[in-house]
Amino acid sequence: MQQKKKNEIVIFQTSKGAVEIRRDFYANTLWASQADIVNLYERDQSVVSRHLKGIFKDGEIDKESNLQKMRIANSDKPVVFYSLDIVLAVGY
């Protein structure tokens, strides 16, 4: 019988501190919030936001299959998480 793997947290170290990113074994990807991407690449939020808009506008990556909205404890609104493909596209 195959064991089910749980989602894990992957921690990357940047010069400003650690960035936690959720790993999804079932979808075989990582999920990061916009804040995680900002911290990972050490860029201003507005720069990351512009990159994200450009990626979706150009159709570089399918928006529907690469976004997930999740409720986070102590948050009024759902938080948008981006797949590894989008995280890499922002960095490129």
Q: What is the pLDDT of residues 31-81, one digit of tens each?
A: 889 998 998 898 999 999 999 999 999 999 999 889 989 887 887 889 899
Say how far apart CA 32 and CA 19 lie, in whole Å.
9
Domain extent listing, the chain: 8-91
Q: Kindly report the pTM of this predicted structure.
A: 0.70
Tell me the sheet residues that pair with 32. Answer: 82
Assess if CATH 2.60.40 describes domain 8-91. no
Q: What is the pLDDT of residues 9-33, one digit of tens each?
A: 566 666 776 666 665 555 567 888 9
State the residue for tokens 């997930």: 68
